Structures are given as C-alpha cells and as structure tokens.
Chain A
Amino acid sequence: MSTIAGWAGRVRGLFTDTKGPWGPSGSSDEPPSDDHGGGPWGGPASRGTGGRSVAPLDDLLRRGRMRFRGGGGLPGRPNGSLILWAVIGFFAIWLIFTSIHSISPGERGVVTRFGRYSYTLGPGVGLTLPSPVDRVKKVDVESIRTVDLGSQSSEDLMLTGDQNLIDIAYSVRWNVRTPELYSFQLADPDEAIRQVAESAMRAVIAQVSLQDAMGDKRSEIEAQVADRMQRVLTGYRSGIEIQGVAIQQADPPDEVNDAFKEVTAAQQDAKSYVNQANAYALQLTAKAQGEAAAFDKVYEQYRLAPEVTRRRMYYETMEQVLSKVDKTIVEAPGVTPYLPLPEVKKQQQQQQQQEAQQ
C-alpha cells in the first residue's frame, strides 16, 4: 500500500503543470515517499537538485513531459537539446549501419524487403533501405565447406553389390552457388547434404563389387556419387554445388580383416613363387647359352683339325684324371692280381682321420 501511495505522489509531482521538475517546489513534493518507508524510487536519488535521476523511467517520463509542454523553453535548456541530438545521432547511426553494407569478395548479400526476397548484393558496398524495411543476410559463396560422413573411429558398414560389407568413410566438399535458393529453399540444407550424400554413396556402392569399392574404382565411385548428389540437390533447387566427394577409407570390416590379410599374403607368396621360377629360368638359360657357346668355339677349332684336337683333348683329360687317382696297371689276361681292397680302405680311413685332426 505504502508503495502505491509513493508512486501516486511521485507521478502527480512529475506531471503537475504548475511545478517544473527543475523548480524548487519539486523537492517539497518528495518527502512523502520517504515518509512512507521508501518506494522503489527511494529518496536519495531524487532529493537535492532534482535535475539528475538514476532511474531510467524517471528520465523517460520527464523527457516526455517536456515535449508535451511544447517547444517554449526547451531549446534553451542544455539537457533537452542533448537528448534531441542523441536521438538524431542514434537514428543517423542506425541508418548508416542498416543501409550501407559492405560485402566481402567471397560473399553475397541476400536482400529481403519486408521478408520478401528482393535482390542479391554482389561484393563491394551495397545500399539498401534501412533495417525494418530491408534486411541483408550475408551468405558465403566462395569458401568450400566439408562434411565428413561415415566414420573414422567406429564402423559404418555398407552393403556392396556382391553382398559383402565395406567400412567406408568419406567427405563431401560443397559450396553455395545460388545464395537466395540456399537461403529459402531447403529447411535444413546442411542436413539435406548429409542425407543425400549417404543415400548417393549407398546407391553407388550397392552397384559395385567389394574389390572395386576398395581399390580400383574408387575415383569412379567418387565421381558418380558427386554427380548423383548434384542431380538430387539441383532437383531440390537447393542452390548448392557439389565440388567433390573424397573416399577417405574403404576397408573390409574388422571381423574379416584377417582373411583379407591372408589374401595379401597369398598374393605375395604367389609373387615370390613366380620370382623364384624366373630366377631359375634366367640361370638355366644363361647356363645353356654359355655351354652352347663354349661347345661352338671348341667345335670351330675341332673342325679345322679333327683328329689332332680329339687326341689332344683326350690326353689332356686323361692326364688330369689319372694324375689325381691311385692307379694299378695289370697285365691281363692270365694274371689274377690280388687286390688289397681292405688295405686301400684302411689307408683311406687313416687319411681322413689325419685330415680331421688337422
């Protein structure tokens, strides 16, 4: 109750025509509010000069009252003119800030007039009507944005055309081609891109074999997915341009990874078999060629003097052979020599032992 009484007194005091807020009578009106136990506009603030107030409402009401009283005394007063200038300044700044727009080179400004799309500002400084009428939404059209799909950490399995599973992670790069379409056509363009990408990737992967998806046809798949996405997004009139799709990872699922490693091992084994065979072939060919060449050389000489060469070779060989072995010459027939074979063997054993000791 006391608060209301304080309020009432206060308002009356401010709006009574006979007393100015700057007049001395203003202060005589204040005490009641103090006496009533202090309203929200408690004494200290309005006591004293009564010219300055801390409460914004006070200020507002006072300003309003001054206007209502007409321009008579107003321009003369420093406070009034200050407020006027502040208001003008505020509007001026507002006008400048809301009607001049600098659009950086990578951006376009989509202008809406009362909510309706009006035109698109190119890079540079653009002029529009001030704020409540025209609004500008800046859209970045140059920078390429990236959406990562699939997952690097956990598994995201996809079925391939030959009913195998593949763990795939990929990213989509895109930018805005038509800013007004991008702003107004799709409810959630980013989510749309994700969904369309997933769908397109699944559709393409479902038509290729696991082997193709993992290796050989990766770039082809990327191109197909990008193409498919672009067609769908253009169908939505989304104003989005797909710059490219990159498959970061296309691996078999962890569960069957061992079997895939086995294949790699087998490939290496097969390669080493072939390599060994090739080495053998090289060796054999070289040997054959070498021997054939040697024979040819000797044969050339042999042809010039067959008998002599033949005898010479025979003697040389026999010489070499017989000089290194034990020989026994026996006049036969008629003589049956005793062959001391056990003795020979003993000798041999002794020789071997000596060699071993050495």
Chain B
Amino acid sequence: MTAFIRQRPILSAVFAPFVLIVLLSSFPTIPETKQAVVVRFGKPERILRYEAARPIGSTGAGLSYRIPFVDQIVWIDKRVLAVDMEPQPVLSTDQRRLMVDAFARYRIVDPLLMYIRSTTEENLRTQLQTILRSEVRNELGRQPFAALLSPERQGVMDDVRKSLNVQASKFGVEIVDVRIKKTDLPDGTPLQSAFESMRTARLQEARSIRAQGLKQAQIIRAQADADAAKTYAASFGKDPQFYDFYRAMQSYQATFIGDGTSKPAPTNIILSPQNDYLKEFTGRTK
C-alpha cells in the first residue's frame, strides 16, 4: 500500500478522497428521527423501522452499513407527522352547513409498504389528505348539527380515527390522532343569520332585564308602603280617637298655614259665634 502510494503519488492523491467517500458511505449513521429502507438493485434488502414497544435509544438508529453503489438508502421519517386539511364544508343531517377544519397525526410504521405505495413522504401526505377529507365528511355528515359542534363527546372522532386508520394502514401508516381544529359557520347567510339571532337574543335579554328591574323596584316600593302602614297602625291603633284629633290638628296646620315649603292659598274663614273656639268669646257658660 505504502509502496504503491510512493510509486504513484498523483494517482493516490486523486483516488484517496474517493476511497474515503466510499468508506464513509458504507457506514451510514441513521439518526433517531429517521427510519430507513435499504434497497439493493430496487429490491428492499433491510428495513430499519420504528417499533412502538421500544423506548427511544433502542430503535434502529445508529451506525449501519451498506454496500456502496449497490445499496440505496431510502430515508423515511420516524416521528409523528401531521397532515392538515383544508377547511371542508360538511352538511349535517338537518341540512345545515358547517366548515370543518381537521388535522391528523400519523406515524409511518411500515416504511417498506409506504415506500412501495407512495414512494415519497410528500405523496403520502397528499394521499392521506384526500382520505382524511372524505372520512371527515362521511362521518360528520351522519350527525345532526348540534353534535357537530362537539364531535368528541359522542365519540364521533373515534369513529373517524378508526375508519381513517383502516384506510391509512394500506400505506403503512398508523393514525395516532384525528382532531377537529375548527368548526365555523360558512360566510354569508348562515353567519349573518347567526349574528342576527345573537342580536335578537341580546335585545330580548335587555328587555327582560329592564322588566325584571321594574318588577323588583315595584315590589320594594310596595313592601315599603306595607311596612309603613304597619308601623303607623301599631302606633296609632293604641287610641284611634286621639289619633283622629291629633291628625286633624296636624292637617289644619298643614292646610291653612302650610308646611313651611310653600305658601297655601289665601283663606277667608267665616265663623259663627257658636263655634267651639269662640264659645268663651260670648262670656256665657255652658
């Protein structure tokens, strides 16, 4: 070897990097985030795949090997991936429309199958998107509008996940989760009518609040009147005759003199000498 280099330095210099590259490429390092399919002349030779049972650090990642120029490595993501759906109109059983935006999380559990069926992850994503869209529409279309608002409660999303999983397993994919991200009313009439119903509901509420306030106020006033009457009765009832006299005296004062705030209308009083007040006026005795 050394002799060869000494004899043919130029050749060695030219070939050394190639040898190095070939050597390095024979021992690829597989990162923790990837799985790999080693393909020999188009035929899958080895699969370094994700295994659910094994913890991180004990899966297929690490140093591997391959025969240069013969084996090709196809890298496939091992992590949980996401596929996001465009908002989809869904028609409920009671003929109301709702825009549904969902996403699914999946993991490629069979990289070989995935490689055969979809070749690239991008293709896979597109295919899953289509499946997701149709599954969401199918499953949610069987529900009444009220159930669409919270599909989790009725287990609808579990159904979506199950049927999506059946479809996705053909691509070597396991669906981890399907969730509804958003449910919106479509723009235009449905949205406007929702606003309108909100508005009328609020106005109705406002009226009812005012009416309740008035009612409460009236009750409070009536109660106060009743309480006052009770207080008066308890006090004045002790001697009705004296009350009559006492109140008459107050009333005369108020009527003829005024209560101090306003002047009463001028009065002329014509008295008869027989009047009780004037009985001493005549000097006679009873």
Contacts and interface: CB of A to CB of B under 8 A. Distances in A.
B31 A112 contact: yes
Interface stretch (A21-29, A91-99, A250-258): A250-258
B223 interface: yes
A21 to B, nearest CB: 14
B25 to A, nearest CB: 14
Nearest to A290: B231
Interface stretch (A39-47, A81-89, A265-273): A265-273
B133 to A, nearest CB: 16
Contacts of B269: 322, 325-328
B29 A329 contact: no
Most chain B CB inside 10 Å of its own CB: which residue of A181, A259, A330, A339: A259
A195 to B, nearest CB: 5
B271 A313 contact: no
Given A274-B213, A277-B221, A118 B57 contact: yes
How many interface residues does chain B have, given as a range? 35 or more
Nearest to B195: A255
B199 A259 contact: yes
Interface stretch (A183-191, A216-224, A241-249): A183-191
Contacts of A271: 213
A328 B270 contact: yes
A161 interface: yes
B12 to A, nearest CB: 9
A49 interface: no
A292 B33 contact: no
A308 B210 CA distance: 56
Contacts of A114: 29-30, 61-63
Contacts of A187: 77, 79-82
Contacts of B231: 285, 288-289, 292
Query: A interface, by DSSP: helix, strand, loop or mixed?
Result: helix
Given A191-B82, A328-B269, A165 B232 contact: no
Contact of B57 (A65, A116, A210, A287): A116
Interface string B76-95: 01111110100000000000
Contacts of B158: none
A331 B61 CA distance: 134
Interface in A97-127: 112-119
Contacts of B209: 263, 266-267, 269-270
B228 interface: yes
Nearest to A316: B249
Contacts of A322: 269, 277
Given A161-B150, A195-B181, A203-B152, A116 B30 contact: yes
A328 to B, nearest CB: 5
B185 A159 contact: yes
B245 A324 contact: no
Interface string A333-346: 00000010000100
Contact of A163 (B103, B194, B270): B194
A312 to B, nearest CB: 11
Given A11-B10, A281-B220, A195 B84 contact: yes
A196 interface: yes
Interface string B218-241: 111101110111011011101100
Interface of A: 11, 15, 61, 64-65, 68, 112-119, 157-159, 161, 163-165, 180-181, 183-188, 191-192, 195-196, 198-199, 202-203, 206-207, 210, 232, 235-236, 238, 252-253, 255-256, 258-260, 262-263, 265-267, 269-274, 276-278, 280-282, 284-285, 287-289, 291-293, 295-296, 298-299, 302-303, 306, 310, 313-315, 317-318, 320-322, 324-332, 339, 344, 348
22 contacts: A61-B13, A65-B9, A114-B30, A163-B194, A165-B191, A183-B33, A187-B80, A187-B81, A192-B82, A203-B150, A232-B177, A255-B199, A256-B199, A263-B209, A266-B209, A266-B213, A281-B221, A288-B232, A292-B232, A314-B277, A315-B277, A327-B270
Given A64-B13, A287-B228, A329-B270, 5 more contacts: A281-B221, A285-B231, A321-B257, A325-B256, A327-B270
For the complex of A and B, 10 pairs with smallest distance between CB atoms? A270-B213, A281-B224, A116-B62, A292-B235, A259-B202, A277-B217, A288-B228, A266-B206, A277-B220, A116-B61
